[in-house]
Structure 1
Amino acid sequence: MALLFGFFGRRHMSMIMRQNFAKSCEKKLNDQINMELKACHQYLAMAFHYDRADVSSPGVHRFFLQASNEEREHAEKIMKYMNKRGGLVRLSAVPEPIPCFADTLAGLKHALEMELEVNQHLLDVHALAGQENDPNLCDFIEANFLQEQVDGQKVLAEYIRQMERAKDDLGEYLFDKYLSSTAGMHPSSGSKGH
């Protein structure tokens, strides 16, 4: 009983510092955390698909591994923010990722679909924060995510177009070599991950 009381007593202390943080925003941020973790797992599966001996695309492997790390960092950044605001982080089960793709183009197209979905959800979080008159949350989303998402979408769209023009194994090989030397989807994040 004392352990249970201790938990709720600590939880209460977290709540007393909560100010202007609507439960609807807390729920939407938890959804965003879980969406980021879903993307993290999908990118991780993609990275190791392209690392298989029968696929052998080290540049694509590196690119998607970096994207996985960036998505995890996004989730962690939102979790830290939730703690600052007095919210409660709620992690859900992560769905099983798609295990393999026909070629690099298919993987890139799937990545762009994921990025568009994540970006739309961030825009929805921002809109909700505006409706709830939460300028701090609006600022957090703007300062940490929105421009980076747009930049990442453009990079993926460009890569998709390059792969569409490549159209053969040699083109895919050269594209993979090119990816080995790039800074990733979000070069402004220091080439260490997003």
Structure 2
Amino acid sequence: MNTNRLSENITAALNAQMTKEAHASQTYLSYAAWADREGFGGIANFLFKHAQEERNHMMKILEYILKRGGQVEVTAIPAPPENPSSLNNCFEKIFEHEVENTKGVYKVVKMSSDEEDWATWNFMQWFVKEQIEEETLVMNLLDKIKIAGGEKISSDILYSFDRDMEKISGDVTAARDVTTINP
């Protein structure tokens, strides 16, 4: 008996979004390593935590596909983009990446609506809300960087900004505290 409750199109779209979330995780991870190497420990910590958050999003989609009886396809993810050229550029690239991720979420939402797959439509509303939060967070950080001078931000302000970023904890467990039991 076939217990799969997802169409082939929805399954493919969910698997594609799962890969986008994995790519987002790798991008944040790459930028976190860049920030750490540049001496921005607070910013690196913030980005490392977001890398874990994106991985959690990937796992949320994977689990949903399995719960609906679908076939999960784990595929290769693209390499992260080149390292940023500056702190301003880093957050501009992150914003662009989040906007692309939002487009992927909207594609699944529209497809689930068109197919009247209300379970998937409902599931994806969590991601719609999450993407609003993600884009707003990055826009607010870009605004702060812009006010501080954008590409011409002074080292004193960079130091202060990095310390402020260190204080942003978020709800994501630090990578060093993650286990297979507590992902």
Counterpart pick for 1:92 among 42, 61, 75: 75
Counterpart pick for 2:16 among 28, 31, 38: 31
TM superposition score normalised by structure 1: 0.83
Q: Does residue 48 in structure 1 map to residue 37 in structure 2?
A: no
CA distance in 2: counterparts of 1:116 and 1:100, whole angstroms: 19
Instruction: Give, in angstroms, the shift of residue 81 of structure 1.
Output: 0.5
CA distance in 1: counterparts of 2:82 and 2:4, whole angstroms: 41
Query: In the alignment, is the contact (CA less than 8 A) between 1:60 and 1:104 conserved in 2?
Result: no
- How many aligned residue pairs are there? 170
Q: What's the CA shift string for 1:146-191, capped at 9, x where partnerless?
A: 111101111100100111121222111111111011134xxxxx34
Query: In the alignment, is the contact (CA less than 8 A) between 2:52 and 2:172 conserved in 1?
Result: no
Which consecutive segments of 4 or more residues in structure 1 shift more than 6 A?
none
Query: In the alignment, is the contact (CA less than 8 A) between 1:163 and 1:171 conserved in 2?
Result: no
Query: Which residue of 2 is the match for residue 173 of structure 1?
Result: 159
Instruction: Give, in angstroms, the shift of residue 98 of structure 1.
Output: 2.6
Tell me the percent identity: 25
CA distance in 2: counterparts of 1:46 and 1:112, whole angstroms: 13
Q: Does residue 146 in structure 1 map to residue 128 in structure 2?
A: yes
The Cα RMSD (Å) is 1.4
TM superposition score normalised by structure 2: 0.88
What is the DSSP-based 3-state SS (H/G/I as helix, E as strand, rest coil) of the residue aligned with 1:51?
A: helix
Q: Does residue 109 in structure 1 map to residue 92 in structure 2?
A: yes
Paired residues for 1:154-169 under 5 Å: 154-167=136-149, 168-169=154-155
Q: Which runs of 5+ in 1 are unaligned?
A: 1-12, 185-189
Query: Which residue of 2 is the match for residue 6 of structure 1?
Result: none
Instruction: Give, in angstroms, the shift of residue 192 of structure 1.
Output: 3.0
